[in-house]
Chain A
């Protein structure tokens, strides 16, 4: 019976670890669906983590921390938006700059905050009744935090908006073919700003989750490459919010296992697992011709749009 407990615990913890990845991925899916490749996820997450932590620490209110973290992420994304939508710089460069900027700035500002424990985290909760369902109860409804549910809820909401509403058609069209959308009277720049901003908000929220819930403290560089995993996972989930749920939790379980398997496997090997998988995932995906054909990248991903240029 012990292995069953193991599996259940791994899956339960996968939800906890996977949530910030899910939040970031959902945001990046929206940005990329509108045609904006934002490699600044890592930077937006660390900014969110830092501002989220300090806000929660000072106000003693974790929810204000989440709000502030999300907002800072959103604000940072607008910088990328301005550079890539307005000035039409190469999006890869602008995104990388944002990542380096975020890591650097928080490194400087965060020195005084290192090692201070955050007391104002959010409570873990068990859903009465539901937690007694066999298998699913202990995984989904025991000692989980509210953000896990918010993450899943957001994924479903964002999927619905993207595929079932008129705005979703607009977003996907702008990402596939901005010229067509423009000719039909869509404000391409506005849609792209909105989607980039959504991406920033969610990356910031994911960062704040790291420093408020996952490990309630501030450490320099605490996102530890999660932003890059998000970018890989965006491809891996075929730019689809519901697939992102599964992908995020798969990565989440890898994170958890890298701790739990330490007595038997070299910890260095285990800590590279999520990153190794990040490299392998797109490769595996690329190998599947059927998948690549059916759901390729948005047609105009990473390409700036200018109207008077045929």
Chain B
């Protein structure tokens, strides 16, 4: 067996249990991490991946369970304990301080000299940057860096802390294909130095590309753990196999798209120009239209003007030039589900009527028809399979996938002529993604859909036409996309 060939694991976790308010996020997890390996942890949202890693890196404390580091039991109670033992986590939302410089971020928490603490650090950053081919300027401010650069800062930060076990939580969700390649190169380099990398993700292709061992979590338990080679042997069906183990049922990842008759445009944008908060023009003369019966997909790496474009479409940000014409009502599925898509403190049923409460079917005058609203919500919750304790529970109790289903339910049932969906499946598990896709495609029978996403796979799967947004300008692509995939990918990175 392969396990026997290797020496003892770098770290083993044994029967880890963690409960949050009655929910077992981790229910007796055993896991072995070996040096010189990339260990992928796969699982749906809420499967307990991030909780487990937060425990390993000392942010959460397990209710019970033990850690064995290089054969001897250790206790990890605080982040400091973890760092001292060489366990460093790069979170999905980077733990970087925006207004501070790279060097200040790296120096934080290290035992640097009290006086002029940054002198030595700046040199160390440059050394590490050179060794791992990470280009990071020590004096740049974090908020001026791209997401990919910020991730590099996080990795440099971890390496300087002497990381032996590097935990990456959804590291590629924000990267361009090129940046992802660079990240994988760095991971290879770390493997050569016999470090362990734990790679948390739900992107199946990447798991097969980069990992040596795969562990699948489902509802807080390990459902499978195997060398990646075994999966690859299964050949073309490997992806489906993994997906099945993750969600416990078959998942269609390539969705069937029936053509729908295109009719008149519902959104026309002409030569739109928008500036961001700093006064930089980030949308530079965009022109496009969206017709009823089609999905127009705008794909691009985050930060190429998407936010300003959407804000301008909704009048949240003044356009500095150009015109926007909308025919009919607009439904909106925002990227920020918690902040813009719902009100966490309000109940499910209140959230369900947030955008349509003025509709006469919900009540008369200043009074609501509460019985009807309850009925309406229950119907939506049922139709869109939202898993919730009850319809009078606050929306903040829902997991990401369920909250997205609720928002989807609300916006789709309004039957608006235009629907703007911004990153509709960001951070969702495979099961929910399939769900959202299916409903969006269904909806284009009655509406025009503007889809904004930085996931090329999603845009290719759903769109009838594609626009690549790069530095505020669009390049349009028409069907068929099959042979243009690479071309579109290149355009996203500006090549």
A: residues with CB less than 8 A from B are: 164-167, 169-170, 172-173, 176-177, 179-186, 293, 296, 299, 307-308
Contact = CB atoms under 8 A, between A and B. Distances in A.
Given A177-B95, A180-B97, A165 B108 contact: no
B91 interface: yes
B97 A166 contact: no
Given A176-B100, A293-B277, A183 B91 contact: yes
B99 A176 contact: yes
B115 to A, nearest CB: 6
A299 B113 contact: no
B109 A181 contact: yes
Contacts of A177: 95, 97-98
Given A172-B100, A181-B109, 4 more contacts: A173-B100, A180-B97, A293-B277, A308-B61
Task: Give the interface residue-count category, chain B.
Answer: 20 to 34
Contacts of A296: 99
Contact of B59 (A167, A172, A293, A307): A307
Contacts, number: 68
B278 interface: yes
Contacts of B116: 164
Contacts of B95: 177, 179-180, 183-184
A32 to B, nearest CB: 14
A185 B117 contact: no
A165 B117 contact: yes
Given A165-B117, A169-B107, A185 B96 contact: no
Contacts of A169: 100, 104, 107-108, 117
B114 A173 contact: no
Interface of B is mostly: loop
Contacts of B80: 185
Interface of B: 57, 59-61, 78-80, 83, 89, 91, 95-100, 104, 107-109, 112-117, 277-278
Nearest to B95: A180
A261 B184 CA distance: 72
A170 B105 CA distance: 10
Contacts of A166: 107, 112-114, 117
Contacts of A179: 95
A3 to B, nearest CB: 43
Contact of A181 (B78, B108, B278): B108
Contact of B108 (A173, A299, A307): A173
Nearest to B111: A166
Nearest to A180: B95
Contacts of B83: 184-185
A185 B109 contact: yes
A158 to B, nearest CB: 15
Contacts of A307: 59
